[in-house]
Amino acid sequence: MTAAEPAPRSATTVAERDPIPAPAVPEPDVTPAPAPAPVPPLAARGRSVGGSPVRDILAVTARPEVINFAGGLPAPELFDREGIAAAFQEVLATAPERALQYSTTEGEPALRAGLAARISTRGPVTAPDELLITTGSQQALSLLATALLEPGDTVLVESPCYLAALQVFGLAGARMVAVPGDADGVDPAALEEAIRRERPKLLYLVPTFQNPTGRTMPAPRRAEIAAVAARRGLWIVEDDPYGELRYDGGHVPWIAALPGAEDRTVLLGSFSKVMAPGLRLGWLRAPADLRRACVVAKQAADLHTPTLNQLAAARYLDVLDAHVARVRAVYGERRDAMLAGLPDALPAGSVWTRPEGGMFLWARLPESYDTLALLPRAVEQNVAYVPGAPFYAGTPDPSTLRLCFVTQTPQEIAEGLRRLGRGLGG
């Protein structure tokens, strides 16, 4: 290396003379993240209407050792599994493209035609076009509430009343007013006074084998109710899910079949109690303008009831009467078994209904009894019932309860009533 050549730089020397700056490390952001905005609240109707106490009880008493008089369930061992399966198989074998396709909102023509003929034999002459097939008759109630009720409208109901109807009308924002009655149902004079005072939109009734009481409104009382509605300008919603389950007594005509009532009465029915509830098939018969409004409401709700179920039910109608006859015979024995055991099961001074059909009977214990407070004691004895209080739109009677007699055998009913007696302190 000559004197003219510079000395080589070491890495250290270069680094010391020309330092490479270290990358900047950002200061941590200590500003708290803004809290997420709350989601919009539920609609007022969603906050104000509770669930079904019956379904809450069923969830608590689902243990197999519990004899359950609480539910309103048909006896599953009586379902015509072979007949219903054959109907589905025939539909899928002969018309699969139609059965698995969308359908009209009004319902499959075959089912509406068969149902119209069936209705016409029992009551008002009915054309297929006068019917709307619904996803259970519970949906028919919801469609009517949508089509008829504004928030704040008044609905007159029985006392006590079918619990799920109270839910439907409550969700619609209606005021529910109970009309006083007696063993025959709503009192016509009390109805007239309630209409004058409350200016209601409709009256909701289950005149035949009522839920929860099991009582049936006699024909003369039905005629009086229809006359009041006609005179005062009132819709009647006549719900008949149990009418074919008659064990004794004679047929009582629908209010919808009475002269002058057809233009203001909506008739509801169901296949749940006579065919199978899992099919979710009901129907609505109403005057044209109201029916069209319900069709529009159903289009918005679910487009249509399942096509396959409708076509299978239409085929099953040919054998439905024979199946219902078998069911009636069994249920009649079960009703008799419950009636026979009640005197020993319920406290002295209790009274109860003797239904001519349907699925339920209603009991009233002495005034000192609170059936809601006593329910846990009954469940400890592995038996369940429904306390009566939730069935009231007005002031409840805490001493009442509902018993379903169709789901258990006579032997199970006898044992269940013995347990009930222990649970009630007998």
CA 85 remoteness from chain centre: 25
Confidence of residue 55 (pLDDT cuts 50, 70, 90): low
pLDDT of residue 23: 61
Q: Are 75 and 328 in contact (CB under 8 A)?
A: no
Confidence of residue 33 (pLDDT cuts 50, 70, 90): confident
Q: For residue 336, is pLDDT > 80?
A: yes
pLDDT of residue 40: 83
pLDDT tens-digit readout, 246-270: 999 999 999 999 988 989 999 999 9
Q: For residue 107, is pLDDT > 60?
A: yes
Give the Å distances, CA to CA, from 220 to 225, 254, 258, 380: 9, 12, 11, 45
pLDDT of residue 22: 60
242: CB partners within 8 A, 6+ apart: 206, 208, 209, 211, 273, 357, 358, 359
Confidence of residue 48 (pLDDT cuts 50, 70, 90): low
Q: For residue 12, is pLDDT > 80?
A: no
pLDDT of residue 15: 43
Q: How far apart are CA 110 and CA 115, in angstroms?
A: 9
pLDDT of residue 41: 80
Q: Which of the residue ranges 68-72, 139-143, 144-148, 334-338 would you say has the lowest mean pLDDT?
A: 68-72
Q: Where are the domains of the chain?
A: 45-77+321-423, 81-319
152: CB partners within 8 A, 6+ apart: 173, 174, 175
pLDDT of residue 234: 95
Q: Which residue has the higher pLDDT, 47 or 320?
A: 320
What is the value of pTM for the model shown?
Answer: 0.88
Nearest to 132 by CA among 155, 153, 103, 161: 103
pLDDT tens-digit readout, 177-187: 999 999 999 99
For the chain, give the mean pLDDT: 92
Q: For residue 51, is pLDDT > 80?
A: no
| Residue 247 DSSP class | -
Percent of the chain with pLDDT over 90: 83
Structure tokens at 160: 């006590």
pLDDT of residue 4: 45
| Residue 354 DSSP class | -
| Domain covering 45-77+321-423 assigned CATH 3.90.1150.10 in the classification | yes
Classify domain 81-319 at the CATH class level: alpha beta
Mean pLDDT of 224-245: 96
Q: Which of the residue ranges 7-21, 88-102, 194-208 would you say has the lowest mean pLDDT?
A: 7-21
Confidence of residue 63 (pLDDT cuts 50, 70, 90): confident
